[in-house]
Amino acid sequence: MLTHTDLMSLEQYARTRPEFRAKVMAHKKNRHVALGPNATLYFEDRLTMQYQVQEMLRLERMFEPELIQEELDVYNPLIPDGSNWKATFMIEFSDPEERKVQLGKMIGIEKAVWVQVADFARVTPIANEDLDRETEEKTSSVHFLRFELTPPMIAALKSGAALTMGIDHPAYQATVKPSAAVRESLLSDLS
């Protein structure tokens, strides 16, 4: 969890932003998994959320403690707590018309994303805990997912067990094995 003391002042952030941003961008390279050509999981953690909060404070020129706390309250729930992974799930189609058609076909896709450790049962996410992101006509192109892992799954991962991720939805299927670098980065979220 991030607190006020974890954040830089606007002035300090302005001075260190280029280096901090470079560090975060390098870190993020090992925190996303493409699930086929049009869907991606962007795994969040303390550093990605610190960057997000710092950028929001910078953009909004926020320095009032109450407003900073509101930002922390929004982004802290996206930090994994040792037994889970938290991810921003994005459905990406560059053509707006195709995106509209596909999002209409993909209602419920956020519940069809899964991760699997070795031969354990697939883990489907708890999705959009903050608010509903679909209508009867279409789903959103952005969802927030939490994958809860059991202690035996975590132990198996730390012992080198296989990790697979995918989507099993009538309108979109994908199965991938994350790279070794992504796997290592995600292991650091688990206690």
Terminal alpha carbon distance of the chain: 15
pTM of structure:
0.92
Per-residue confidence band for 6, with pLDDT thresholds at 50, 70 and 90:
very high
Return the SS3 of 88.
Answer: strand
State residue 25 phi and psi, 5-degree precision.
-65, -40
Distance of alpha carbon 71 from alpha carbon 75, whole angstroms: 6
Distance of alpha carbon 191 from alpha carbon 187, whole angstroms: 8
Per-residue confidence band for 66, with pLDDT thresholds at 50, 70 and 90:
very high
Residue 62, classified by CB atoms within 10 Å of its CB into exposed (0-12), middle (13-18) or buried (19+), is middle
Once rounded to an integer, what is the mean pLDDT over residues 43-49?
97
